[in-house]
Amino acid sequence: MSEIESLDHVLARIADPGGKGNLVTAGRVAMTRVRDGTATIVIDATGLSAEQRAMLERQVRAQMVAVPGIADTRIAMTAERLERTIVAVGSGKGGVGKSTVSANLAVALARLGKRVGLVDADIYGPSQPRIMGQPNRPELAGEQIVPLPAHGVRMLSIGQLIEPGTAVAWRGPMTASALSNLMEGDWGDCEILIVDMPPGTGDVQMTLTQKWKPAGAVIVSTPQDVALIDATRAIDMFRKMDVPVIGFIENMAGYVCPHCGETSDPFGSGGAEAAAGVMGIPFLGRIPLRLSIRTASDAGTPPAAGQGEEAALFKRLAERLVEELARAETGGHHAADD
Confirm or deny that 98 is annotated as ligand binding.
yes
Q: What DSSP element (H or E) covers 207?
A: helix 203-211
User: CB-based contacts of 198: which residues, under 8 Å, 6+ apart?
Assistant: 121, 122, 123, 124, 125, 204, 205
Give dist(CA 103, CA 156) in Å, integer: 12
By the 8 A CB rule, do 271 and 223 touch? Answer: yes
Give dist(CA 283, CA 324) in Å, integer: 10
List Cα–Cα distances, 29 to 14, 41, 48, 305, in angstroms: 11, 7, 14, 38
User: CB-based contacts of 291: which residues, under 8 Å, 6+ apart?
Assistant: 258
Read off φ and ψ for residue 161, nearest 5 degrees.
-110, -10
Nearest Cα to 218, choosing from 328, 107, 336?
A: 328
Confirm or deny that 92 is annotated as ligand binding.
yes
Confirm or deny that 96 is annotated as ligand binding.
yes
Confirm or deny that 211 is annotated as ligand binding.
no
Confirm or deny that 172 is annotated as ligand binding.
no
Give dist(CA 183, CA 117) in Å, integer: 10
Confirm or deny that 93 is annotated as ligand binding.
yes
Amino acid making up residue 124: Y
Confirm or deny that 99 is annotated as ligand binding.
yes
Q: What DSSP element (H or E) covers 278?
A: helix 271-279
Confirm or deny that 97 is annotated as ligand binding.
yes
- Per the annotation, binding residues are 92-99
- Per the annotation, binding residues for ATP are 92-99
